[in-house]
Copies of this chain bind each other. A is one copy, B any other.
Amino acid sequence: MIDLPFGIRLKTLMEKRGPLCVGIDPHPQLMELWGLEHSVNGLEYFARTIVELLGPVAAALKPQSALFEVYGSAGISVLERTLRDCEDIGTISILDVKRGDIGSTMSAYAQAYLGQEAPMRADAMTLSPYLGYGSLHPALSLAKKENRGTFVLGFTSNLEGPQVQHARDENGQAVGTSIVNQAGNDNSYALKNGHWGHVGIVIGATIGDALRNTDTDLSKLNGPILAPGFGAQGAGSSEMRDVFGSALSQVLVSSSRGILQVGPGNNDIVSEFHRNLDAVDRVLSSNNHL
């Protein structure tokens, strides 16, 4: 049994190591850049090398399940070993699976990724709420009980996202806003202890003024925000400050290609991680001086 709530564990590690999470994204092109074949062996080398090199320095690593699933059960075996490596090396694993279902099926997904004995257990999993935030309850409650975490999709920066996420419910609230608010409710218990709750939100760093346009208030979320899209072709400092405002200190920036494209050479990848982290830190510190 994990002895500290996810909110405390993540926040502590973000304070110690900085708010940068590295996506373990074994995309075919990235594996080619590493000189690897598209094989289960290549996959295993790629994923476990990242944990070995970045596990000691990164607050969190985020394996992308789709890119393991494509290899079938053999890929899932590698995912299991990758997740155990994360445990052993002492970094937080956020498994990007974007699961969502109802009732006993949702319970099975929760058990599969947050259960104490589950072969694919991670510190946290991502969730997709097309069936309504409430349908995710089995995962949210198991996460809380197991001192693990969740990240529910809120606002994403792909072009087609707003069609669903900005649609208005019967109270005139945007779908994404309602999800942020419900997560905040579920996290409120942790406020009195001064730590984050177990429900994080995924918000793209490049969504521009979407939160303002939908009157989304992050101030009551009281949980971590997983933000892909920073750096390189993504959001810069001013965009980040513009999107997240005073919630910037809750943001865990997620980056993958920008760091991993330098290849597996020991120093390269670690210094690229630190170079990216410095950029993230500059955003946060400039915020402090606002």
Residues A164-195 near B (CB distance < 8 A): 164-170, 174-175, 178
For residue A135, which residues in chain B have a CB less than 8 angstroms away from its CB?
A: 158, 160-161
Determine which of B73, B103, B132 lies in contact with A164 in the assembled complex, contact meaning CB atoms within 8 Å.
Answer: B132
> Contact between B111 and A70 (Cβ–Cβ < 8 Å)?
yes
Given the known inter-chain contacts A73-B77, A109-B69, A163-B169, please indicate yes or no for A100 contacting B130, CB distance below 8 A.
yes
> When chains A and B are docked, how far (Å) is the Cα of A116 from the Cα of B153?
30
- A35 CB within 8 Å of chain B: no
Contact call A168/B167, Cβ cutoff below 8 A: yes
Pick the residue among B66, B103, B132, B158 that contacts A132 (CB under 8 A): B158
User: Which residue of B has the minimal Cβ distance to A182?
Assistant: B163
Q: Establish whether residues B170 and A158, one from each chain, have CB atoms under 8 Å apart when the complex forms.
A: no
- The residue in chain B whose Cβ has the minimal distance to the Cβ of A173 is B167
Using A99-B98, A112-B69 as known contacts, say yes or no to A130 and B128 having CB atoms under 8 A apart: yes
Residues of B within 8 A of A70 (CB): 108-109, 111-112, 115, 118
> Is A233 close to B, CB under 8 A?
no
- A234 an interface residue at 8 Å Cβ cutoff? no
Asked if B175 and A167 make an inter-chain contact with CB atoms under 8 angstroms apart, the answer reads: yes
Q: How far is the CA of A118 from the CA of B64 in the complex (A)?
A: 18
Query: Hey, which chain B residues are within 8 Å of A131, CB to CB?
Result: 128, 153, 156, 158, 160-161, 164
Q: How far, in angstroms, from A99 to B163 measured CA to CA in the complex?
A: 18
A104 contacts which of B27, B98, B129 (Cβ < 8 Å)? B27
The reply to whether the CB of A105 lies closer than 8 angstroms to some CB of chain B is yes
* Cβ A166 vs Cβ B169 within 8 A: yes
Contact present for A134 and B159 (CB under 8 Å): yes
Instruction: Give CA–CA (A203, B91) in the complex, Å.
Output: 41
Which of A69, A98, A106, A118 neighbours the largest number of chain B CB atoms within 10 Å of its CB? A69
In Å, the complex CA distance between A191 and B218 comes to 47
Bitwise, A131-142 to B at CB < 8 A (1) or not (0) is: 111110000000
23 CB-based A-B contacts, threshold 8 Å: A25-B105, A64-B108, A67-B108, A69-B112, A71-B119, A72-B112, A73-B76, A73-B77, A98-B101, A100-B128, A102-B158, A128-B128, A129-B164, A130-B165, A131-B160, A132-B163, A133-B163, A135-B158, A135-B160, A163-B169, A163-B175, A166-B170, A168-B168
Taking A70-B111, A72-B119, A131-B158 as given, write out 18 further A-B residue pairs in contact, using a Cβ cutoff of 8 Å, ordered by the A residue number. A66-B101, A67-B105, A70-B115, A70-B118, A71-B119, A72-B76, A73-B74, A129-B130, A131-B156, A131-B160, A132-B159, A134-B159, A163-B178, A164-B164, A164-B167, A166-B170, A167-B174, A167-B175
